[in-house]
Amino acid sequence: MNAHKIVCKSHLLKLLWTSGRSDRIKRLHGVCGRAPFSSCSPKVCIVGAGPAGFYTAQHLIKSRQDVEVDIYERLPVPFGLVRFGVAPDHPEVKNVINTFTQTAQHSRCSFYGNVNVGTDVSVKELQQAYHAVVLSYGAEGNRRMGVPGEDLAGVHAAKDFVGWYNGLPDNRKLHPDLSCETAVILGQGNVALDVARILLSPMDMLKKTDITQPALDLLAESRIRRVLIVGRRGPMQIACTIKEVREMVNLPDTRPEMVAADFKGIAEAVKEVPRPRKRLTELLLKTALDVPTEKEQEKRSKASRVWGFRFFRSPVEVLPAPDLSRAAAIRLAVNRLEGSGEGASAVPTGEVEDVPCGLVISSIGYKSLPIDPLLPFDSRKAIVPNTMGRVQKTAGVYCSGWLKTGPTGVIGTTMNNSFDTARALLEDMDSGALDVSSAKPGSQGVTPLLEKRGVKPVEFSDWEKIDNEEIKRGVAMGKPREKLLSVDEMLHVART
């Protein structure tokens, strides 16, 4: 199957001269059942099977005909935030899975799911087995607000809430309480808008998506009728993008509720800014201040649900109910803006404001975590320190995706980021900065260790069994898929 690989001429000659005929045939079939020449090829290991991992793999495989790439993933299922982060009602964004699937099915790419790098195998062991290691494991931690009451019932990280409705095994027991009238979301990025939209979407829209059934059932009983999306700064610093704002404006059975005073001076300031910021701000202005059309006015008067942005507010405390069991309100500090544009900062005025609510979602950023104490980690920025994707002070180790630049950017941003890391790695191979002349065992050096430790990797064909099972279950529910919710269930289907 690997006969098409570039033949390493010196290796071939050595074999012909030093082996007897029967020996040669044995060697041609390889000690480990693979073609013998594969030991000459550069072997790269990627940690993390999300967009960063897959785009890095894609670029490496396309650019050199001899590179072999192994992708290790903690979960039995691949695709990272494309599966667990992208909102259920954004299926087109998930089309990229088809590209990733082609990469995984490539003869020079192998997927090893259910392997936790850091606990099942160390980065050092990977460095011994591979010529290069690329860390692409993203940001599975959460930035805390750091305020009293943050751990009360009713307060959730957006990352966990999104993980819950998207079927991330670690979040399946979240059981958020949706019996209150008002939900407050801190943060105004696209994740915050996704949460707001899922909380307020009509059931007949959600039930056709791949949102998990338990989430759908809970949302069907939800009594939330008002969602406020709160940011420290003003309308011109909002971090979300125009597509998501338009979706809120057009969401059936909802009406917007903004504070006109928040938009003072904005119409003037918007004239000089770059096009993306300009178009977004104009949409906000129109939604907040313009007299609505007749059709829009009718929609607003009939709407049963309300959403709105609140600007110049920072959380200072989550206030408990009288019995102290759960959140009942959030205390917000009132800010003023110093400076303008993207670099403006929020300065507290001393005033505070209490907003009664029963659900608080903090959506102020994901955060990368260190997985190996021997690797450098910048805990202030929560990234692996690197230059162009080359991990500092660690030869042969690279990083791509959010771990490299911090947890912002859409899939396209991560794609460019990952291609850059792949280019740096290829440059290093070409220049000799990365030594690929001596043979390395690749996965042959890792799978025996895993076996000894009782870890059984999930191959890509096993994921395809899980995939088919989810699609099959989805057909019965009128959904694109019904996700398996626990690692045990995934492994059970994978092994059948």
Partner 1 sequence: MAAAAAVRSSMGLTLTLSRVIPGCGTCHLYRLNSCVGGLAGASRTGQLHRFGTLTRHLHSTTGLNHSEEGSSNAEDPEDVVNVVYIDRSGQRIPVKAKVGDNVLYLAHRHGIELEGACEASLACSTCHVYVSSDHFNKLPEPDEREDDMLDMAPMLQENSRLGCQIILTPELEGIELTLPTVTRNFYVDGHVPKPH
Binding residues for NADP(+): 188-191, 232-233, 244, 409
Closest by alpha carbon to 120, among 451, 481, 485, 477? 451
Q: How far is the CB of 373 from partner 1 (least distance, A)?
A: 26
Coil, helix or strand for 348?
Answer: strand
Q: How far is the CB of 444 from partner 1 (least distance, A)?
A: 21
Q: How far is the CB of 469 from partner 1 (least distance, A)?
A: 11
Residue closer to partner 1, measured from CB, 152 or 273: 273
What does the alpha-carbon distance between residue 436 and residue 444 come to, in Å, rounded to a whole number? Answer: 17
3-state helix, strand, coil in the chain (%, to 5): 40, 20, 40
Instruction: Match 């110049």 to its residue by tokens.
Output: 312
Residue pair 197/361 in contact by the 8 Å Cβ criterion = no
What does the alpha-carbon distance between residue 472 and residue 342 come to, in Å, rounded to a whole number? Answer: 47
CA-based torsion, 207, 250, 97, 190: positive or negative? negative
Residue pair 61/103 in contact by the 8 Å Cβ criterion = yes
Binding-site residues from annotation for FAD: 52, 73, 81, 117, 402, 409-411
Residue closer to partner 1, measured from CB, 335 or 418: 418
Residue closer to partner 1, measured from CB, 169 or 407: 407
Q: How far is the CB of 80 from partner 1 (least distance, A)?
A: 13
Binding-site residues from annotation: 52, 73, 81, 117, 188-191, 232-233, 244, 402, 409-411
What does the alpha-carbon distance between residue 249 and residue 229 come to, in Å, rounded to a whole number? Answer: 14
Tokens of 175: 């059981």
Residue closer to partner 1, measured from CB, 121 or 211: 211
Residues interacting with partner 1, by CB under 8 A?
1, 3-4, 58, 61-63, 65, 90-99, 101-103, 105-109, 189-191, 208, 210, 239-243, 246, 274-276, 279-280, 342, 388, 405-413, 415-417, 420, 464, 467-468, 471, 474, 480-481
263-277 per-residue burial string, b: 16 or more CB within 10 A, e: under 16: beebeeebeebeeeb
What does the alpha-carbon distance between residue 456 and residue 443 come to, in Å, rounded to a whole number? Answer: 13
- State how far the alpha carbon of 319 is from the alpha carbons of 153, 323, 357, 386, 491, in Å: 11, 11, 10, 41, 42
Cα angle: 181, vertex 200, 142; to 5 degrees: 85
Residue closer to partner 1, measured from CB, 241 or 444: 241
Q: How far is the CB of 406 from partner 1 (least distance, A)?
A: 7
Q: How far is the CB of 427 from partner 1 (least distance, A)?
A: 11
Residue closer to partner 1, measured from CB, 148 or 412: 412
- State how far the alpha carbon of 376 is from the alpha carbons of 123, 219, 439, 461, 472, in Å: 12, 42, 27, 35, 44
Coil, helix or strand for 262?
Answer: helix
Element spanning 491, H or E: helix 487-495
Question: Residue 121 carries which DSSP code?
Answer: B
Residue closer to partner 1, measured from CB, 205 or 319: 205
Tokens of 26: 């044995």
Task: State the pairing for strand pair 141-142/305-310.
Answer: unpaired
Residue closer to partner 1, measured from CB, 92 or 221: 92
Residue pair 192/158 in contact by the 8 Å Cβ criterion = yes
Residue closer to partner 1, measured from CB, 215 or 328: 215
Helix extents (H) in 166-241: 190-200, 203-206, 213-220
**Rg, the chain, Cα only:** 26
